[in-house]
Structure 1
Amino acid sequence: MKRLPPLPALHTFLITAQCCNFTRAAEQLYITQGAVSRQIAGLEDHLGYELFIRQARGLDLTAEGREWLPRVQQIFGLIDAAVEQIGEKRETLQLKAPTCVMRWLLPRLLQWQRERPDVPVELTTTVKHGVDFHREQFDAAVMYGAPPDSALASCHLFDEQLTPVCSRPMLEGPMALQTPADLQHHLLLHPTRDERDWNAWLKAANLQLGNVSKGQHFETLDLAMSMASQGTGVAIGDWSLIGDDLSAGRLVMPFELKVKTGLAYYLVFPDKPGPSPKLRELMGWLVEQAQAR
C-alpha cells in the first residue's frame, strides 16, 4: 500500500485550489507564501504529478488537480462533521474574554451556571482584544473594538459609552461634584496607561482641565472602578459595563453625559461549522442580558 500523503499538505492543497493563489492561501492558513509553495511542491513530489499550472497571472488546476479537489473536499467535510458532532458531546463550553468586560460578564455567567448547571462554561481572560479560532480552542469569544472582520460570525452586545463615576460621598460636602468644572479639584483615575477616555469625554463636554495628566493610571478598568468606589478619585468608566455597580450604589454618575466612542463589545464565533445548540443558547441568553441593561 502506497504511503498516504500528509494531511496538512492536503489541507494546503484544498485552500490553494479554492483561491488559486499562493498569497491568498497563505493569508487564510496563517503561514508564509513560501511555506504554501513548498507544501504544494512536496505533495506533488509525493504523488508523482503536478496539481497546479503555474502562470504569471496565477494558478490553474491540472487535470489531476481537478480530480483531487472534490475528493479532498469530501475528506475535510467528513472531518468537519466529526468535529462538530463529537464537539457537541463536550460538556464544557470554552469562552474567551478581555479583562475589561469582566464586571459585566462574570456575574452573568454565574447566573447562567445557576440556571443551567447542565451547560458549564469555562472562561479564559486576557488583556488582549482578539481571538484566532484556527490556533485557539475556544467555542466563542467576547471582543472589544471595531466591528469584527467579516470572516467571523458575530453578535453585537453593546456600545462603549464613557462617563465619569465616583463614590456617593464625593457628591456631598464643600468639594462636592456639582458641575463638570468641579472635576478640576479632584484626582482623575484613568483605566488605561493613556488618557484617551478622559480626553474624549471632556471634549464632548466642551471642557478643558489642567489636571488630566496629573491623574492616576491603571492597567485595567476594574482597578480604576475599584479605586473610584473607595473614594480615591473620579474614574472614567464605561456605562455599559458598570450597571451592576450603579444599581448597588458602589458607584454613582455625577453627570448625565455619556459619550459613545464608536467601539463596542461583540460575541464572535467561527462561521464554520457554526455554533452548537448549547453555544447558540448561551449566546442568545447573553445578548438578551445585554439588551436588558
Structure 2
Amino acid sequence: MLMIIRPPNIQSLQTFLVLSECSSFTAAAERLHLTQSAVSRQIQLLEEHYGVTLFKRSARKIELTAEGVGLLHSAELIFRELGNVEKRYSKKIRPFRLKIYASLAMRLFIPLLNQFAADNPGMSLAVETETDLIYGDLAQYDAFVSYKDAAAITQEDWLLFAESLIPVCHPQSVCAKPLPTRLEQLPDYTLLHGSMNGMDWERWSLSKNLWLDPSQAQIFFNLDELAIEAALQGAGIAMTDQRLVQGLLEDGSLCSPFPSALQTDNAYVLTFKKGGDAHPNAAVVKRWLQQHLCADH
C-alpha cells in the first residue's frame, strides 16, 4: 500500500539544488530570477519541513551540512526521474513562456501577434500578464519584461523603452468641459491614475512646479490600460507613458493638453533566461522580439 506523505514544495527543492551547486545566495538568486530573500525563505521552509539545518552559513561562504548532503542525493534522484518523465511524455515542445505587464501586452505586444505567427508558423507562446510592477518567482518563464531604474540595467537586459510620462485626454472635451489650456486649470478636472499610488501624476506635476490639490477629483486604477480607456471616454485626464498611447495620439483618438513629457530615470527592459534551461526556440524568439519590440535593435 502506498504510504501517504506530505512532500515539501517542489520549488523549494529546486532552490535547494541550485543553491547547493552555486554555494552562494546571490548566484542562486540570479540564476532563479528571484530575490536573495526569496531564496533564503525557500531554504527556511525546507529546513522547517524536515526539522534539520541544511547549510552551514558564514560571512564568506555556505556549505552543506551532513543532513544537507543526504537531501542533495535524494533531490538529485527525484529531479532526474522527473526529467525522464518529462522527456517520455512531453512529445510536443511546450510554449515559450513570456511574462509581461498587462498594459504593455495590450498596447505593444498583442498588435504584433499576426506578424509573429507569419514569421514563426507553428510556434506557440504562453503569455502571462501582471499588473504589479514587482514580480514574484520568475524561474518558470523563458523571458520577462521588468521595470527598472535606468542605472540598474545590465548587459543582459534589452531596452524596450525609457519611461516618458505625458497627460492625455479626449480631444474634444473632458468631464463635459472644454480642454484645459493652462496648468492652473488642472484642479477643475478629474485626474486618472494608472496605478493605485498615483505617483506618476505627482512626479509630472512636481516637474512643472505644480502642487496637486488633495481635494481634487481623482480616479485610481491598477492598470494603465484602464486609465487610458477612461481618458478615451472623456472621464478625465490620464497620466501614462507616451509609448503606450503613441498610436492613439497619432490617429487623434487622444490628445495631450500639456504635451511636455517627463523623462524619468526608469525604463522597461526585456530579459531572457540564461544557460542550459533555455527553451529550444529561445534563440528564434529572442531575435524576433529584439527586432520588433526592443528600442535598441
TM surpasses 0.5: yes
1:121 aligns with 2:125: yes
Q: In angstroms, what is the RMSD of aligned CA positions?
A: 4.9
Task: Please list every run of 5 or more consecutive structure 1 residues that lacks an aligned counterpart in the other structure.
Answer: 1-6, 44-51
Q: Tell me, in whole angstroms, the C-alpha distance in 2 between the residues paired with 1:56 and 1:221.
A: 44
Instruction: Indicate if the aligned counterparts of 1:12 and 1:40 stay in contact, CA closer than 8 A.
Output: no
Instruction: Indicate if the aligned counterparts of 1:154 and 1:267 stay in contact, CA closer than 8 A.
Output: yes
TM-score (norm 2): 0.67
Residue aligning to 1:235: 238
1:106 aligns with 2:106: no
Residue aligning to 2:33: none
Q: Tell me, in whole angstroms, the C-alpha distance in 1 between the residues paired with 2:17 and 2:279.
A: 28
Distance of aligned partners of 1:16 and 1:139 in 2 relative to their CA distance in 1, 3 Å threshold: closer
Instruction: Indicate if the aligned counterparts of 2:23 and 2:63 stay in contact, CA closer than 8 A.
Output: no
Residue aligning to 1:163: 166
Q: Tell me, in whole angstroms, the C-alpha distance in 2 between the residues paired with 1:207 and 1:10.
A: 51
TM-score (norm 1): 0.68
Q: Tell me, in whole angstroms, the C-alpha distance in 2 between the residues paired with 1:10 and 1:286.
A: 29
Residue aligning to 1:272: 275
Q: Tell me, in whole angstroms, the C-alpha distance in 2 between the residues paired with 1:147 and 1:88.
A: 42
Please report how far the alpha carbon of residue 286 of structure 1 lies from its aligned counterpart in structure 2 after TM superposition.
2.9
Instruction: Indicate if the aligned counterparts of 1:148 and 1:154 stay in contact, CA closer than 8 A.
Output: no
**Amino acid in structure 2 at the alignment position of 1:133:** L
The structure number with the bigger radius of gyration is: 1
Deviations 1:163-185 (A, max 9, x none): 100111139x9833323333233
Deviations 1:175-206 (A, max 9, x none): 33323333233221112222211111111112
Instruction: Indicate if the aligned counterparts of 2:13 and 2:46 stay in contact, CA closer than 8 A.
Output: no
Residue aligning to 1:181: 184
For the residue of structure 1 that corresponds to 2:243, the secondary structure is coil
Instruction: Indicate if the aligned counterparts of 2:158 and 2:294 stay in contact, CA closer than 8 A.
Output: no
Instruction: Indicate if the aligned counterparts of 2:96 and 2:124 stay in contact, CA closer than 8 A.
Output: yes
For the residue of structure 2 that corresponds to 1:155, the secondary structure is strand
Distance of aligned partners of 1:166 and 1:177 in 2 relative to their CA distance in 1, 3 Å threshold: same
Instruction: Indicate if the aligned counterparts of 1:193 and 1:217 stay in contact, CA closer than 8 A.
Output: yes
Residue aligning to 2:31: none
Distance of aligned partners of 1:232 and 1:61 in 2 relative to their CA distance in 1, 3 Å threshold: closer
Please report how far the alpha carbon of residue 110 of structure 1 lies from its aligned counterpart in structure 2 after TM superposition.
4.0
Q: Tell me, in whole angstroms, the C-alpha distance in 2 between the residues paired with 1:148 and 1:87.
A: 41
Distance of aligned partners of 1:184 and 1:19 in 2 relative to their CA distance in 1, 3 Å threshold: same
Within 5 Å, which residues of 2 pair with 1:120-269? Answer: 120-129=124-133, 130-134=135-139, 137-146=140-149, 153-170=156-173, 175-210=178-213, 213-269=216-272
Deviations 1:238-259 (A, max 9, x none): 1122222223322122223111
Residue aligning to 1:282: 285
Task: Please list every run of 5 or more consecutive structure 2 residues that lacks an aligned counterpart in the other structure.
Answer: 1-9, 29-35
Q: Tell me, in whole angstroms, the C-alpha distance in 1 between the residues paired with 2:132 and 2:177.
A: 41
**Amino acid in structure 2 at the alignment position of 1:32:** I
Instruction: Indicate if the aligned counterparts of 1:170 and 1:177 stay in contact, CA closer than 8 A.
Output: no
1:96 aligns with 2:107: no
Please report how far the alpha carbon of residue 14 of structure 1 lies from its aligned counterpart in structure 2 after TM superposition.
6.8
Q: Tell me, in whole angstroms, the C-alpha distance in 2 between the residues paired with 1:292 and 1:151.
A: 14
For the residue of structure 1 that corresponds to 2:179, the secondary structure is coil
**Amino acid in structure 1 at the alignment position of 2:192:** L
For the residue of structure 2 that corresponds to 1:117, the secondary structure is coil
Q: Tell me, in whole angstroms, the C-alpha distance in 1 between the residues paired with 2:56 and 2:237.
A: 65
**Amino acid in structure 2 at the alignment position of 1:103:** R
Match 2:43 to one of 15, 23, 32: 32
**Amino acid in structure 1 at the alignment position of 2:196:** R
Give % identity: 26
Deviations 1:200-253 (A, max 9, x none): 111111223436742222221111101101212111111122222223322122
The number of equivalent residue pairs is: 271
Distance of aligned partners of 1:178 and 1:30 in 2 relative to their CA distance in 1, 3 Å threshold: same
Instruction: Indicate if the aligned counterparts of 2:159 and 2:294 stay in contact, CA closer than 8 A.
Output: no
